[in-house]
Homo-oligomer: A and B are copies of this chain.
Amino acid sequence: MAVQQHKFLLDESEMPTRWYNIIPDLPDPPPPPLHPATREPVGPDDLAPLFPAELITQEVSGERYIDIPEEVQEVYRLWRPSPLFRALRLERALGTPARIYYKYEGVSPAGSHKPNTAVPQAFYNARAGVRKLTTETGAGQWGTAPAFACALFGLECEVWQVGASYDSKPGRKTLIETFGGTIHRSPSRLTAAGRAFPEDHTGSLGIAISEAVEVAAGSDDTKYALGSVLNHVLLHQTVIGEEALAQLRLAGEDSVDLIVGCTGGGSNFGGLSFPFIREKLAGRMSPVIRAVEPASCPSLTRGEYRYDFGDTAGMTPLLKMHTLGHDFVPDPIHAGGLRYHGMAPLLSHIYELGLMEAIAIDQTECFAAAVQFARTEGIVPAPEPTHALAAAIREAVACKASGEEKVIVTALCGHGMLDLAAYDSYLRGDMVDSGLSDEALAAALADVPVVA
């Protein structure tokens, strides 16, 4: 039996030194964010209460590549380059001729891809003299990342966690505190945005964002960190796709047939796919780019593409994006990181340009895929990337029928060690697929502001 390689690793010296900005490569630029009062495009001054100047510059940059500061690279080297694995045992279990690769971000301190952006955000804020960062978190993957990054750069970190996740995942709270952060259940009593809801409300990312933004906007030495949605966040995540491209070359794969990733706010998906979309636009390969979202929170597949608020209280700029309505509160499914009413404006724009496609999958299919993956590949995925795995398995099974030797690349954006209650629910048969009714969707969209 020939020895087949399972891992494709890069040396630290091969780590990307630049982030890739996809905007200048697109045929049209994405529509600008609008000021909620004036409905005019927001300028740097409007964002200055929340973000340091260097991140605002990155948010609107037209440069194709942006250098990663050495201080950030030094932290990245704690876990980057992250491994690319070939799912040899999963392929064998499926009996597929497809070759399945997964880029694994669970090796990071937070156990997910989130530190890729938390670290530069903490770095730029520290360099600007900021003392504290506030942020929100859903499942807790994101909140853990700035808690860690702030510890490295001497910043305080204050996190509002969506109530449903806070209650069901005490481990995330402890992990954030272990890294030195402070954590509150959202809706909290600490903000006007939180007090607008009953204290025992299950919460939502939109509400938690409102709370964190309110505290940052009200203090001179405090700024806000967002874990997804914005251009600079997706920019920082492109190290995932850049490394994957280099690792696929190591694996002898010159071309890829399918890039598939899960989408919540879009940062993991953008990070993986943007470098591949660049290759596609340049005619160097022609992969299908496929986003997978939960059937219960289907912003790309069932939301509307229009201006909406990024948060529930309407404190953020209006963003042109696929949205289910800013006061949409999704069912408390286990993939807390995908429970966001909107989608990154940049990803929404790319979807409208026809450069990618999207599907929605119910969670029980996702967990069935995850258990099969765990029993073959040995990694228990976070609930979010189970969506990508389910879609990768669908494709690999289709390849078995068609005989096609497709190359499938997916992002395993985090491990599920702090999400085992969801696996317990699945293994016991308690997990249900809640979906989203047309009536509930129409009601949620009714409050989206009408922008001419």
Among B11, B170, B424, contact of A174 (Cβ-Cβ < 8 Å):
B424
Say whether B175 contacts A420, CB under 8 Å. Answer: yes
- SS class of chain A's interface: helix, strand, loop or mixed? helix
- A6: which B residues are within 8 A, CB to CB? 12, 77-78
A177-218 contact mask (Cβ, 8 Å, vs B): 1 or 0: 111100000000000000000000000000000000000000
- A48: which B residues are within 8 A, CB to CB? none
Is A126 close to B, CB under 8 A?
no
CB A385 to nearest CB in B, in angstroms, measures 15
Say whether B177 contacts A427, CB under 8 Å. Answer: yes
- A378: which B residues are within 8 A, CB to CB? 78-79, 108-109, 115, 148
Is A440 close to B, CB under 8 A?
no
- A109: which B residues are within 8 A, CB to CB? 374, 378-379
Known: A78-B377, A170-B424, A174-B424. A111 touches B179 (CB 8 A): no
**Complex Cα–Cα for A294 and B5 (A):** 40
CB A185 to nearest CB in B, in angstroms, measures 15
Say whether A12 contacts B7, CB under 8 Å. Answer: yes
CB A111 to nearest CB in B, in angstroms, measures 7
- A5: which B residues are within 8 A, CB to CB? 12, 77
**Complex Cα–Cα for A3 and B13 (A):** 9
- A74: which B residues are within 8 A, CB to CB? 3
Among B79, B177, B423, contact of A178 (Cβ-Cβ < 8 Å):
B423
Is A171 close to B, CB under 8 A?
yes
- A430: which B residues are within 8 A, CB to CB? none
CB A242 to nearest CB in B, in angstroms, measures 18
Is A128 close to B, CB under 8 A?
no
**Complex Cα–Cα for A98 and B152 (A):** 21
Say whether B151 contacts A375, CB under 8 Å. Answer: yes
Please indicate which of the listed interface residues A108, A109, A178 has the most CB atoms of chain B within 10 Å of its own CB: A178
**Complex Cα–Cα for A79 and B9 (A):** 12
A160-183 contact mask (Cβ, 8 Å, vs B): 1 or 0: 000000000011011101111000
Say whether B375 contacts A174, CB under 8 Å. Answer: no
Is A285 close to B, CB under 8 A?
no
Say whether A180 contacts B107, CB under 8 Å. Answer: no
Say whether B375 contacts A179, CB under 8 Å. Answer: yes
Among B70, B152, B178, contact of A420 (Cβ-Cβ < 8 Å):
B178
Say whether A11 contacts B12, CB under 8 Å. Answer: no
Q: Which 3 A-B pairs have the closest CB atoms?
A: A109-B378, A417-B417, A174-B420
**Could you write out 6 A-B pairs with CB less than 8 Å apart?**
A5-B12, A152-B376, A174-B420, A174-B424, A177-B423, A418-B420
Other A-B pairs, 10, CB within 8 Å; known A5-B12, A174-B423 = A6-B78, A7-B12, A78-B378, A173-B424, A174-B424, A174-B427, A177-B424, A177-B427, A178-B375, A418-B420
